[in-house]
Amino acid sequence: MAGQVQALRRKVRSVRSTKKIAKAQELVATSKIAKAQERQSAAKPYAEAITGVLTELASNASIDHPLLQPRPRVLRAGVLLITSDRGLAGAYNANAIRTAEGLISRLRADNKDVALYVVGRKALSYYTFRGRPVEASWTGFSGEPTFADARKIGESLLAAFEAGADDTETTYGPDGIRGVDEIHIVSTSFKSLMTQSAGSRFLAPMQVEEKKREGGPKPSYEFEPEPEEMLAALLPKYINTRIYAALLDSAASEWAARRRAMKSASDNADELLKTYTREMNSARQAAITQEISEIVGGANALAAAGSDE
């Protein structure tokens, strides 16, 4: 009996420390969500401005840039998957990976080969554990991505996209590098504190909407340098901006998912604590009752033995 009480006491202690960890993680996540959202809104002016410039350019210049032209034959598609570095984030990573897997099987059904690019240790370990090749991976910044991270990713994706232009079914073209013909991005978008949804989008080639002007003549822009040249300089930057936005959105989602997971973990711990404490109390009470009845029984036996003499 005393042993049982001891065991329960140990359980209570361990649940209590687990709860402390979950609670601390929850508080950290709560403050990180706010920070992540701040960064998202801080990045918005640039994204809006660059989209505006791009739209103006596209409506004023001929847009036959390789990044804007769908390729007639898509042999290989690149998939950029964004996950977190650390776990304890509920179904966040599982959802992102599941979405990516869905996309990959769709691409394979269309006879497209798939090249995987992953962000975050979770997706990396998922694929290396299953022995599936990963073209490139970036880890160590999922919670707080910077633009420099996005640029690194963008540069290698664009290099792969450019290298893919001359690939044919049998050879990898004069450059000898196996590239990709289109790029998809799988990331999680932050809808609210309770909902984050993973989804996939096209990253390249992209479509630019030409602005339809209502009435009045178009303002005639001057360009320095020539529009085509500027488009070539601007598009890679725009891709980087898109990647950066996806990273920020995913980071906010990651923290929101983690906060929710940690909240339910600490709620569960509370419940367990209550159950275990009840069990422990009743075990202790049972032990005391038993001891008393043993003493009483013993005393009665002694008294009975004494009166017999």
Partner 1 sequence: MAKQLHVEVVAVEKKVWSGDAEMVVARTTEGELGVLPGHAPLLGQLKEPSQVRVKLAGGEQLTWDVTGGFLSITGTGVTILAEEAATAAPATAAH
Using CB under 8 A as the criterion, which residues of the chain lie in contact with partner 1 when the complex forms?
Answer: 39, 42-43, 45-46, 49-50, 52-53, 56-57, 146-147, 151, 219-225, 227, 229-230, 233-234, 237, 240-241, 244
Task: State the nearest-atom distance from the C-beta of 57 to partner 1, in Å.
Answer: 6
3-class SS of residue 170: coil
Comparing CB distances to partner 1, the nearer of 38 and 291 is 38
Residue 151 to residue 241: CA distance in whole angstroms: 8
User: Nearer to partner 1 by C-beta: 39 or 258?
Assistant: 39
Say how far apart CA 113 and CA 92 lie, in whole Å. 26
Q: How far is the CB of 275 from partner 1 (least distance, A)?
A: 48
Q: Could you tell me the sign of the dihedral formed by the alpha carbons of 275, 278, 281, 284, in that order?
A: negative
In the block, tokens 């299953």 appear at 130
Question: Which residue, among 249, 264, 212, 232, has the nearest Cα to 55 in the 3D structure?
Answer: 212
CB of 47 vs partner 1, minimal distance in Å: 8
Instruction: Enumerate residues 6+ apart whose C-beta is below 8 A from 72.
Output: none
Cβ-contact 146, 243 below 8 angstroms:
no
Residue closer to partner 1, measured from CB, 190 or 276: 190
Query: To the nearest whole angstrom, how small is the minimum distance from the Cβ of residue 70 to partner 1?
Result: 26
Distance between alpha carbon 102 and the CA centroid of its chain, in Å? 16
Of 203 and 247, the one with the shorter C-beta distance to partner 1 is 247
**Closest CB to partner 1 among residues 144, 166:** 144
Nearest-approach distance from CB 146 to partner 1, in angstroms: 7
